[in-house]
Amino acid sequence: MAATLILLSIGLPWLGALVVWMVGDRHEKIQHALAVAFSLAAGVAAVILLGSAGKETALTIPVGGVFGDFTFVADGLGVFLAVIATVIGSLAVIFSVDYMHGEHQLGRYYAFVLFFIGAMVGLVLTSNLLLMFVFWEITALCSYALIAFHNDDPKAVAGGVKALIITQFGGVGLLLGAVLLVSTTGSYDINALLASPSSIPAGTLAVLAYGFLVAAAAKSAQFPFQTWLPDAMEAPTPISALIHAATMVNAGVYLLARFFPAFKDVPGWTEAVMLVGLVTALMAAIMAVVSNDLKRVLAYSTVSQLGYMVYAVGTGVVFASQFHLLSHSVFKALLFLGAGAVIHSVGTRDMREMGGLGKKMPFTRVVFIIGALALAGLPILNGFWSKELILEAGLKHSPIWMYILMLVGAGITAFYTFRMVWMVFYGKPKAEGHIHDAGKAMKVALAPLALGALTTWLLAGPFSKILGTETLPYHNIHAESTWEILGEVISLPTLVALGVVALGLLAWWQRDKLGGLGKALGWLGKAAAASFGFEAINRGVVKGTQGASNGLSVTQTGLLNWNVLGIVVALVILFAVLALGA
Amino acid sequence: MYLYILIGAGALGCAIMAIIAKKLLSSAIWLAGTSALVALLIYLLGAPEVAVIELSVGAGLVTVLFVFAINIAGDEPIKLRAIPPRWLSGILILFAIGLLGYFAVVPLMELGAVDLPVSMDADFRSVLWQERNLDVLLQVLIIFTGVLGMMGLLAEGHKKESHPANEEEKPA
Amino acid sequence: MSMNVPSVFLIVVIGLLGVGLYALLTVRNLIKVVVALQILVKGAMLAFVLVGRLTGQVNLGQSLALTVIVADTIVAVVGLTLAVQVRRKFGSLDIKDLTTLKR
């Protein structure tokens, strides 16, 4: 049963990708319908899979001795992320029906979206490290292709190439880990590593641990790789929602959470993870304050919230990290799709040219504000509960200065969220032309997400059960009821955190009176606008890679004869080495 | 033994002729000869099933394809100088073959006058369908690629025929 | 040290590989390239059956050779299709005219 469901939730999107592509771009309506049908079917399969979650290997595909068996395990962590990828992914597809209406080359668009969703499901469900690497790279390829979807726009192409090159550092880290693992233990099985991390030498384990940290940081746009995600904003907005909420960036946090039991005893690793999360969360929050591009603000907020999740993994409370991932993927998908509705209607992403849109787009305003309040971490919304869980984990398991800085980050989050909502929906109307509310398919996608942002925190109990020791034997998460978890959240530190959030709100309210403070912090704003110099470094890396590729292209003569000559020369050298060696 | 040497020499000779033949059509015929002789060698090795397939597909079907393609593409012998110098290619290939022979053939010869051992494994069908079932299924995918290729090969002739027809329709 | 039956087959295999590789190095006609590939692959196929026989698993070698035949035929089909289409588009079968992707 579980085996069939795993095959369905990976295979349906991939089959859909093939079918939508083969239908051809002349039949747009059929393409829209097919893409929605296949992604929804995959979502249904993944949700049913929740019921048969277990720690045993559910599906084994033997492929001979070299790569190990391709195994899939439907454990709590994997199934939960598979549900997020397919359900949020299918909402993004539904939203696309309106957003991409009348665009050219829909086949390419939907094929890559569905391929992306399927690969993400495979990535989280497989327990073979090599196969995980393959899926990891497929997601990188799809994100590149989708960010650069408008391939006649040089900015979009540059953003896509940047995403591809930067995330490749992650791919290299993961591949290194896989090769090291197989050379020391002779198997690619992840669960064997998690069961007995002491079976491999401490030095090798440390290389693995830090390699995977690099991989996760590159994929989840953490410090110092954080600059690719904002540049990925050139993508069509549903793609941004897909990358930010459903698929791509979750992979890094997933990787850390998955391997946490194996690496937690590596000296300095948990501290390094916490530090990466902390620096990212703060830096990205400050950058969000000075940005005027609606989608960029959201992108920086994603980077910042991912920093919170990474920090939570570092403190050892994997549950808090994954619970925030759940909340985040719901409210961030809501925010992105809401922003998509706004951008679709106004035709610009610059918040300075918006303002006063609330009256003309009442539905969008309501759902967007729900998402924004969840992001800011106001009570009752799901973001509040999960962020408080992370902060409490930080209070208990990390140095106090880290906790305080994370609190400050929460305050800044509240500040830029209110700034964004104000600039878009309130104030003087600046945009001209025909402004219309979200379309029908957009509303269909937005409404369940808004409902989710209001209610997913009620799932805390079942969520802790599915991540519990029954399906994740090495993670030490205890199943508790919703009320127990919520009871833990409501305590004195929470009031402090709420106070900080209120302070953030107050700071935006009284922004005119704080002019002096703003001027004093002007240098910080300037540094933040320049991404604290990391933009330049990352750009240098991208340029260097492209230059090296250009230089190496000399070896690609395009002439068969020379290429075969190279092969024969290599053959002769190989034989000569063998002859000398023997 | 001498039979094997004779057939092997024939196969090699046909292969060389296929390369040095001036006309593409005769090149294709020599290739068919190589294929048939290799099929014979395979039969002598005790693999009659594959020998039959090689004879019908390699020597038959592929030759038909070659003749068909040469008909469309035209058979003008191009006299062009090789891009890497011939002497360099020759030396390299001699080196490669020589080393390969040194590694593979010499140890075999040192065994003395051995004959081919008798095969002990399961019969062809069960090996194919039980031990290598995934490969057999994946072959279907490759064949699908071939179908797409055939469509490309046929599309040309089709277009040539339909083109004037379109022009006739346009004025009307 | 003397010639025996397996070594005769092996020499034929190596000879076919050599002829095919040499042709790939020197030939410039696209259809001739496909011919060279066919010769190369015939050598590999014979090697599969030979090694199967030498290790007492001739039918495993046979089944691998069958896969080679399938792949090889498809290579011929696709290669010839490419040659025909290239001839249509560039008016020549010279592989030197095919470096436009590079430029």
pLDDT above 90: residue B13? yes
**For residue B6, which of B41, B47, B32 has the smallest C-alpha distance?**
B41
Distance of alpha carbon A420 from alpha carbon A299, whole angstroms: 12
Assess contact for A482 and A458: CB atoms under 8 A.
yes
Measured in whole angstroms, how far is the alpha carbon of residue A573 from the centre of its chain?
Answer: 45
pLDDT band at B162 (very low <50, low <70, confident <90, very high): very low
Same domain membership, residue A282 and residue A204: yes
Tokens of C41: 């692959």
Please list, in sequence order, all residues whose beta carbon lies within 8 angstroms of the beta carbon of residue C15, skipping any fewer than 6 positions away.
B8, B12, B15, B97, C43
Distances, alpha carbon A242 to alpha carbons A274, A349, B38, B127, in Å: 26, 18, 55, 46
Q: In the prediction, which pLDDT does C56 show?
A: 80
Contact A568 B99 (CB under 8 A): no
Q: In the prediction, which pLDDT does A161 show?
A: 85
Question: C97 to chain A: nearest residue by CA?
Answer: A559
pLDDT band at B171 (very low <50, low <70, confident <90, very high): very low
Higher-confidence residue of A535 and C71: namely C71
Contact C35 B27 (CB under 8 A): yes
Residues 96-115, chain B: which have Cβ within 8 Å of C? Answer: 96-97, 100-101, 104-106, 108-115
Once rounded to an integer, what is the mean pLDDT over residues B72-99? Answer: 80
Q: Decide: helix, strand or coil at residue C5.
A: helix
In this prediction, the residues of chain A whose per-residue pLDDT falls under 70 are 64-65, 431-433, 512-523, 528-533, 582
Where exactly are the structural domains of chain C?
5-92
Please list, in sequence order, all residues whose beta carbon lies within 8 angstroms of the beta carbon of residue A512, skipping any fewer than 6 positions away.
none
- Residue A568: list chain B partners with CB under 8 A: 92-93, 96
Distance of alpha carbon A444 from alpha carbon A337, whole angstroms: 11
Question: A556 to chain C: nearest residue by CA?
Answer: C102
Q: In the prediction, which pLDDT does A531 show?
A: 64
Assess contact for A375 and A409: CB atoms under 8 A.
no
Distances, alpha carbon A180 to alpha carbons A28, A186, A474, in Å: 47, 9, 22
Q: In the prediction, which pLDDT does B167 show?
A: 40
C-alpha triplet B120, B122, B128: angle, nearest 5°: 135
The terminus-to-terminus CA distance of chain B in angstroms comes to 74
Assess contact for A500 and A411: CB atoms under 8 A.
yes
Domain that holds residue A16: 2-529
Shortest alpha-carbon distance between residue C89 and chain B (Å):
11
Same domain membership, residue A497 and residue A559: no
Q: Decide: helix, strand or coil at residue A478.
A: coil
Q: In the prediction, which pLDDT does B165 show?
A: 41
Q: Which of B97, B99, B133 should we substitute to test contact with A (largest number of A Cβ atoms within 10 Å)? A: B99
C-alpha triplet A496, A501, A506: angle, nearest 5°: 120
Q: What is the largest CA-CA distance in chain B?
A: 82
| pTM for the whole structure | 0.78
Distance of alpha carbon A369 from alpha carbon A357, whole angstroms: 13
- Reported as a single tens digit per residue, the pLDDT across B22-36 is 888 899 999 999 999
Q: In the prediction, which pLDDT does B170 show?
A: 40
Question: C36 to chain B: nearest residue by CA?
Answer: B19
pLDDT band at B161 (very low <50, low <70, confident <90, very high): very low
- Residue C54: list chain B partners with CB under 8 A: 116-117
- Residue B28: list chain C partners with CB under 8 A: 35
Distance of alpha carbon A358 from alpha carbon A356, whole angstroms: 5
DSSP element (H, E) containing A345: helix A318-346
- Residue B80: list chain A partners with CB under 8 A: none
Phi, psi of B79 (to 5 degrees): -100, 100
pLDDT band at B108 (very low <50, low <70, confident <90, very high): confident
CA dihedral A528, A529, A532, A536 (to 10 degrees): 170
Same domain membership, residue A563 and residue A442: no
Q: Which of A14, A60, A559, A572 should we substitute to test contact with B (largest number of B Cβ atoms within 10 Å)? A: A572
A477: left (phi over 0), alpha (psi -120 to 50) or beta: beta
Number of domains in chain A: 2
Contact A558 C24 (CB under 8 A): no
Q: In the prediction, which pLDDT does B163 show?
A: 44
Q: What is the largest CA-CA distance in chain A?
A: 83
- For the residues of chain B, what is the DSSP string, one character each? -HHHHHHHHHHHHHHHHHHH-SSHHHHHHHHHHHHHHHHHHHHHTT-HHHHHHIIIIIIIIHHHHHHHHHHHH--PPP----SS-HHHHHHHHHHHHHHHHHHHHHHHHHT-S--PPPP-S--HHHIIIIISHHHHHHHHHHHHHHHHHHHHHHHHHHHHHHHHHHHHHTT-
Assess contact for A438 and A361: CB atoms under 8 A.
yes
| HEC profile of A129-172 | HHHHHHHHHHHHHHHHHHHCCCCCCHHHHHHHHHHHHHHHHHHH
Same domain membership, residue A137 and residue A281: yes
- Residue A565: list chain C partners with CB under 8 A: 25
B81, exposed or middle or buried, with CB in 10 Å at 0-12, 13-18, 19+?
A: exposed
Q: In the prediction, which pLDDT does A518 show?
A: 65
Closest Cβ–Cβ partner in A558, A560, A568 for C21: A568
Least confident span in A276-280, A495-499, B56-60, B100-104:
A495-499
Closest Cβ–Cβ partner in C59, C80, C85 for B124: C59
Tell me which of 1.10.357.10, 1.10.10.10, 1.10.287.3510, 3.40.50.720 is the CATH number of domain C5-92.
1.10.287.3510
Q: Decide: helix, strand or coil at residue A450.
A: helix
A496, exposed or middle or buried, with CB in 10 Å at 0-12, 13-18, 19+?
A: middle
